[in-house]
Each structure stands twice: as structure tokens, then as C-alpha cells.
Structure 1
Amino acid sequence: MTARIVSIGTALPDTRVSQTTLRDLFAAQPGFDRKSQRLVGAAFDAAAIDTRHVVLPQLAGTEVEGLPVRDGDTLLMPPTGARNDEYRRRAPDLFAAAAGRALSGSGYGANEVTHVVTVSCTGMFAPGPDYHLVRDLGLSPTVERYHLGFIGCAAAIPALRLAARIVGDDPAAVVLVACCELCSLHWQTSSHPDQIVAASVFADGAGAAVVASGNSSRDGLDLDGFATHVTDDGEKDMAWTVGDSGFEMTLTPEVPRIIGREISAIADDVLGDLSAVDAWAVHPGGRSILDRVENALGLDAAALAPSREVLRRHGNMSSATLLFILRDLLADAERVEGDRVAALAFGPGLTVEAARLTMRRTGA
């Protein structure tokens, strides 16, 4: 039984901040020499991001109570526990907002959801986001719940794969998938190049999808197949670890190069004939990653426009980002029945996750 994404919902924090504001704030940190300041300017300006949304209004210069992350123009380094407490306060509402929108657009009622799959790598607590969605959306207390944690930017595809497996085993299943990442909670005020690059791209947001049987009369995206590929190297180039002052990102310049070097063979293996692909949903880990994918696969400039637009408007929201791209493709009136969609995302390992989807326009 083919599973179908029948609806996608997204949610963003209220605070929207320009890339230039964040650049200037980060470059002004005490101890940053001229070389570090030039690196900050280069990284932020080259990111192809205009704005990002964050759960910390303090980053935009608004004084509010909450996590102490700023003293004037000086960014502070709260302990991991305080950052995680803020995640626990902020994440449930964003999970619920995105999931509620996906559910309201799906044609299914809250009482019809049979499974919940939540995704996040920027915080943890129990009972977790899966439990809160059952409570906040009024789902049945018998709903089966699964949480995928610490998979990183690629995690939306494994979550959709799990949903597809559930529906394939039980055509009556209705699976709610929800991703929420609050990357801004883990800003590191370090002049190390890895931390500068991470600060230049990551943002906050949530995305959700309702996955049900392909027999649905609603428009959507059929989930036709999935694949995972671990590259030959990159284990030390993209990593996400828990430190004493937040979660620490390792993101070296080798990441785009590894992806560019290996993505062609991987895409041929997991997606087949690339000329048959009508639309692409590629996780915008950064502008350079999109450039490398575009060049390696010989794509025209328009192919990755949906990914670049999400990056420009929202930055890299880790696992939630791919759902924003799929949402835009689903809403695109130029996408017609039978269009073949290829999705790619990249996570620690270095791991490439891929999915094949088909656009369905039922006319209902």
C-alpha cells in the first residue's frame, strides 16, 4: 500500500531577524580579532539568507525575561541545562502549531490519528513532544508514539519513511509526523570557523505532515521509496554533541566538498534516472551545499529554486526545513499530476537520506 503525504503544516517563532543584524551582533563579540570579524562577515554574507526566525527575541535586540543570552551587545554562554529548559518551554507550542495546521488541512479529525512521530535534535525532555502533541491536539490516548532524536538535518526523511512503513503495514493508519528545531538556543560565541559557519545559517522552525493511505481522495505526495547512504568519510566533519554550554556543532568546509564529490553516484544509485525527476527538494544545509549538489548533478538553476527560497527566507531549520520545501512544491500550481519529486537531505555521519515521491492531483 502506497503512503501519501496529504497535508503539510509549518510554524515559525514570532521573532524575525535580518541576517545583517545577526552578522553585526556576532562580529561585535569581545575577543574577536580582525581576522575573525572578516570571517564572520564573509560567512554571513555568503549564506544567501535574508532573514531567520528565532525563539529568542533578545537576539533581535528586544529585552524580555527568559534565557539570559545577551548583555548589551555581548552574547552570553548559558549552561546546557538552562538552554534545554528554554527548549522545553518553547518547543511544544511550535510542534502543536505546525501539527495542528497539517491536521486541519488533511481532512482527518484528531480522533482519526493512529500514530505520532516527532523529530528533534535541539533539546530533550520527558514526557516529550510526542506526549505533548497527544495532549495539546486532543488526540486519542491510545495513539502510538515514536520520537526520533539527534539525527540532525536529515531526520525528516527517516520520519517519513517510518510513517510510510506504518501505513504500508496498516492502510487504515493515519500518521502525524512533526519536526521542530530551536537551533538558536545553541549559539556558541566562539571565533572557531565551525561555530561561525553554524551561527551564520541555523534558525528555528517547525514542520509537520499527515501521512495516510494513497487511496485518499486528497492531493498530496505519494511516498514511493527511500534510501540511506553513509559516505566514505565525513564522520568528523559534521557532528552534533552535548557540551557544557549548549550543543556543539562541528561543520567543516569539507562537508560541501564531500557531498559534491559523492552525491552523483549516490543519486544515481538511489534515485535512478535523474532526467526523469521533475522537481527537487534538497535540504539547504547552506548555499555552498546547494551549489555543490547543483553542479555535481548537472541541474539547471531553476531546479533548486524552492530550496534556495526557503534558505533565503528562513535559514537552515535543521530537520524541519525539508517539510517547508515539500509544502511549497505541494502548493505550486505548476506541479501537475504524476510529477516525480526527488528529496535529498544530509546529516551527521556523513549520511545522505533520499526519498522518491510522486505528485498527486486528484481534482477532489
Structure 2
Amino acid sequence: MELLLAVIPPLLCYVIFSLCKIGFQKRDQRCYMLSYQCHKAPEDQKLDTGSCADIVTRNKNLGIEEYRFLLRTMVSSGIGEETYCPKNVIDGREESATHMDAVSEMDGIIFQTLDKLFAKTGVSPSEIDIIVSSVSLFSPAPSLTARLINRYRMREDVKAFNLSGMGCSASVVAIDLVKQLFRTCKNSLAIVVSTESMGPNWYSGKDKSMMLSNILFRTGGCSMLLTNNRALKNKALLELTCSVRTHIGSIDEAYRSCIQVEDDLGHKGFRLTRDLPKAGAKALAMNLRVLLPKVLPPLEMLRYVITYYRNKIMKRSSPKGAGPGLDLKSGIDHFCVHPGGRAIIDEVGKSLALSDYDLEPARMALYRFGNTSSGGLWYVLGYMEAKKRLKKGDKILMISLGAGFKCNNCVWKVLKDLDDTNVWQDCIDHYPPSTIGNPFSAKFDWINDESMDFARREDYLPLLKKHSR
């Protein structure tokens, strides 16, 4: 008995010490978003209806059927008149882009956003401990992070990481990487840069599954400043509460659904196959099975389990369009859906039973800026903030899909009421517009005339140019 009494105090102390250690470790694993800055290209890179038509007519590989496909897809794409295009494409050099075109495009996006981010937060580049770039289609030597370190004269011990080939979901991958690094890097500041190299990757062939990328993708990007320093929490906008990454690249159809290849004539581009919606739905469902139990209230999960097994026993089928069967609003207030295209937004909305209000930010980001790849989520978040939707304590679910095929999602907690108009400043009062119809619909209605089936290129090009003005 005396021996037991002698052992209990040190054992109790050890247990208390271990619990305290775990508590402090979890506290140090926090990830705060101090600020973010989206890119807005110069006005001379704006891609309106006329500019689109000019680019289309330059492609001598296209016939009437390809023109019809392009114009019809533009009309239904959900993209408006004020998106931005790479400078070399605007200048008519989409088939002869140089290495310097790619470097210049990256400099224009990354340097602009980082300059504004440092100015906005008052943080010096010399204070940065970690820097991550996520650009899928451009991986130069020296690397993009080395280029940033050189320009901003960062410290020699800064940890630099370059992510490539990650597609539209690279931004969340980069943030998850920073979160993991924060476990061993105490009181650190991290920069994440997410954009895409569009200029050298413009498709000049006539494969319809590869022409889609020219219609959807536009110039854009974002830089973010993150920290795990609890002393800076009062300055932070958001706190990362959960992140889940799902990869189904082991499935051949999913792997090939969004892939960079060359067509039969040797033109390089991105092929989007008919398997893409199916791959996206599968990856999203698998991801949410892991993520939702972490963010929804236990009572909601219990209700779902009871309902599920009751319907199974009674052999009841779930009604179509009913979503996942969970009340997502019980733990999530806002849905930041990747603006990859109208079909993607609509499909995610249908799968999760989201309302038009929930999908409005993604649709407006697509309409105003197009699909800016990994930077797209931040234009959606910026719209929510500019509309003053984000209030202290709100939870935001970010949903991203990308080549591989993968689905990377995360949940943020809003730490203060947010109202910065950021890149939406010049137009937010006019959004959402009464209609998001594309002018192509009226200007190029003649393209559907059956008599054009037998027209020569020389016959319809003048019409195309005439109506683009």
C-alpha cells in the first residue's frame, strides 16, 4: 500500500505533464490568415467579345464546326466581358510564346500581389520564414521562389517550396503544406503564392476537348500571408480549422480526365474529357466523408446516421437533388466553390443542395475574372468579403478540384467582421448583374444558320470580324 501511495504522485504528475504538453502542441499548430491579395491585370489585357473573336480568327486550323463549338461554348461558359488574358496572346503571339513571356507573366502577377500584401500588412520580406509557390505549368530554374527571394532580399534561412502540376486545387495543397510545416516551425510567417502560367500554354489546335481550356482559363492569382504566432491572432482575418486532401489518381479514368497532352498535330494543351464530372463528384464525395464529421455538430451526424439506417431498413431511396443528406448549414455558413466553369459550379451546388445565394460568389468570380486556376478561390472569398457577408465566428468551406485527379477542401473560421472590397472595389456595387448573358449570343447568332454548313473559311471570317466590333 505504501508503495502504491509513493507511485501515484509521480504518475499523476506525468499524466498532467503529458496532457499539458499535448495541449501546448495543439495550440502551437494554429494557422492564421493575416491577409491575402488577389491580382487584377492592366486594362490593356482585358478580354472582351471583340478581342475573343480576333483571337479565334487567328487560328487557321479551325473550320466552321470548330468555330461554332467555340462560340456556343463561350455563350454558355458563364464568363463575362471583363476577364483578362496573357499579354502575348493579346499581342497575337499565342503560337510563339517565349520563356521571357512566361517569366514576365509570373512577375506581373506575383510581384504586384506581394508588393501590395507587404504594404497592407506592414510585414517586411525579411521577416518571412516560409515561402511556397504553386504554379502548375511553369517550373523554371532558378525556381520561382528563388526569384522572389532574390527580388525581396529575403533571409538565407528562409524555407522555400515550389509546387507544380497540382492544377486548380494547388492553393489548398500549399496551405496544407504550410500547416504541416507550422508544427515544427514556431512563431513563423509564411507566404503562399498561387497562380498559373497561361501565356505559353494557349492551345492552337482544333481538338474540341482541348479548346475548352482557352475558353475557361484567364489571367489571375493571389498571394497570402499566414502565421502560427498566437500573438498575431488579433490581426488575423481567418483561422484554419480543418483541411482534408483526397487523391483518386489510381483510377485511370480520373487520372486522364484533366491532363496536359499534345494533339495529333503536335499542339500542346489541356484535355478535359467526359469523365471529368464523374471524377470530380467521386473525389468530392470521398473528401466530404472525412471532412464533414470534423466540422458538423455531433447531433447532426447522429441524425444523419439514424435517418440513413432507417431508410435502409425500410428500403426508402433518397430523393434526387437532396444533396448529401446532411444539413451542412448546421456547421458551415459560407461555401467557397472553385470557379472552374458554370458546369462545375452547378454540379457542386446540386451535389450539396446549395442555394443560388450560396453559389453567387463563385458564379460572379467566374463571370468577372474567369477560371484563374489555383488563385480562383480567393476571388470568390474576396467577393464574399466585399459584399460584407463574412461576420466574426462564421465558418467557410473551401472546395477545390484539380488535375490528378484530386479534391482538396478546407474550413476557415472568420475572426472578425470583414469588409475589404479588394479587387472588387470598382464593380461590387453592380454585382450581381441582372443578367450574365454573353454578347456572343446576339452578335454571332448567324453561326447557327444551316446554310453556313457549306461555307468556306473566306466566306464566314469577314462576318466574324464584322460582328465582333
Length-normalised TM-score, structure 1: 0.87
**Does the Cα contact within 8 Å between 2:130 and 2:159 map onto a contact in 1?**
yes
Query: Which amino acid letter does the alignment assign opposite residue 353 of structure 1?
Result: N
Q: Deviations over 1:216-243 (max 9, x none)?
A: 2114111112111124541111112589
Where in structure 2 are the equivalents of 1:191-206 lying within 5 Å? Answer: 191-206=206-221
How many Å separate the matches in 1 of 2:120 and 2:182? Answer: 19
Q: Distance in 2 between matches of 1:220 and 1:86?
A: 35
Residues 341 and 19 of structure 1, relative CA distance in 2, 3 Å threshold: farther
8 Å contact from structure 2 (residues 168, 400) kept in 1: yes
Which of 167, 171, 174 is 2:189 aligned to? 174
Rounded Cα–Cα distance in structure 2 between residues aligned with 1:214 and 1:295: 39
Alignment counterpart, residue 357 of structure 2, candidates 289, 302, 309: 302
Equivalent of residue 115 in structure 2, options 78, 81, 100: 100
Distance in 1, Cα, partners of 2:106 & 2:51: 24
Of 231-240 and 111-120, more deviation after overlay is shown by 231-240
Tell me, in whole angstroms, the C-alpha distance in 1 between the residues paired with 2:51 and 2:139: 29
Render the CA deviation track for 1:135-165: whole Å, top value 9, x for unaligned.
2233223311111111111100010111122
Contact 2:244/2:290 (CA < 8 Å) preserved in 1?
A: no
Residues 26-47 of structure 1: CA distance to partner in whole angstroms, max 9, x if unpaired? 2663242222121111111111
For residues 236-275 of structure 1, give each alpha carbon's deviation from its aligned partner in whole angstroms, at most 9, with x where no partner exists.
Answer: 1111258997752011233124324553453243234422
Could you give the per-residue CA deviations for residues 271-320 of structure 1, whole angstroms, max 9, x where no partner exists?
34422211111111111000000001100011121111111111111112
**Structure 2, unpaired ranges of 5+:** 1-28, 297-327, 419-469
Higher alpha-carbon deviation: 26-35 or 157-166: 26-35
Contact 1:151 1:348 in 2 (8 A): yes
State the AA in 2 paired with 1:322: L
What is the CA distance between 1:111 and its match in structure 2? 2.1
Is 1:139–2:154 an aligned residue pair? yes
Task: Return the offset for 1:170.
Answer: 2.5
Please give the alpha-carbon distance, in whole angstroms, between the structure 1 residues aligned to 2:46 and 2:104. Answer: 19
Residue number in structure 1 paired with 2:291 = 270
Deviation at 1:197, TM superposition (A): 1.0
Find the aligned partners of 1:321 and 1:336 in 2 and give their Cα distance.
22
Q: Answer 1 or 2: which has greater helix percent.
A: 2
CA contact (8 A) 1:240 1:348 kept: no
| Aligned twin of 1:229 | 246
Greater mean alpha carbon deviation, residues 130-139 or residues 118-127? 130-139
273-282 or 295-304, which moves further after superposition?
Answer: 273-282
Q: Against the structure 1 CA distance between its residues 316 and 26, is the aligned structure 2 distance closer, same or farther, given a 3 Å change threshold?
A: same
1:8 aligns with 2:28: no
Mapped to 2, the partners of 1:16 and 1:124 lie a distance apart of 26
User: 1:311 aligned to 359, 362, 366, which one?
Assistant: 366
User: 1:279 and 1:356 mapped to 2: Cα distance?
Assistant: 10
Given the superposition, is the C-alpha separation of residues 261 and 159 from structure 1 closer, same or farther in structure 2, using an over 3 Å criterion? closer
The alignment partner of 1:239 has SS state of strand
For residues 142 and 360 of structure 2, what CA distance do their matches in structure 1 show? 39
CA distance, structure 2, for counterparts of residue 254 and residue 284 of structure 1: 19
The letter of the residue matching 1:302 is Y
**CA 1:38/1:27 → structure 2, altered by over 3 Å: closer, same or farther?**
farther
Deviation for aligned residue 1:191 = 1.9
Moved more, 235-244 or 9-18: 235-244
Aligned to 1:321: 376
One-letter amino acid of the structure 2 residue matched with residue 291 of structure 1: D
Distance 1:20 1:45 in 2: 14
How much has 1:213 moved relative to structure 2? 2.1
Q: Match of 2:424? A: none
Report the CA distance shift for 1:214/1:267 in structure 2 as closer, same or farther (over 3 A). farther
Compared CA separation, residues 58 and 236, structure 1 to 2 (3 A): closer
Alignment partner, residue 173 of structure 2: 158
Q: Percent identity?
A: 17
Amino acid at match of 1:343: M
Contact 2:113 2:223 in 1 (8 A): yes
One-letter code of the match for 1:43?
T
Note if contact 2:166-2:404 (Cα within 8 Å) is conserved in structure 1.
no
Correspondence 1:1-364 to 2 at 5 A: 1-14=29-42, 15-19=45-49, 21-23=51-53, 25-26=55-56, 29-50=59-80, 51-56=82-87, 58-59=89-90, 68-69=93-94, 77-78=95-96, 82-213=97-228, 215=230, 216=232, 217-231=234-248, 232=251, 233-241=253-261, 247-260=268-281, 263-272=284-293, 273=296, 274-275=328-329, 276-361=331-416
Deviation, structure 1 residue 331: 4.7
After superposition, the CA RMSD in angstroms is 2.5
Cα offset, 1:194, TM superposition? 1.5
Mapped to 2, the partners of 1:302 and 1:189 lie a distance apart of 37
Structure 1 unaligned regions, length at least 5: 70-76
- Say whether the 8 Å CA contact 1:263–1:296 is kept in structure 2: no
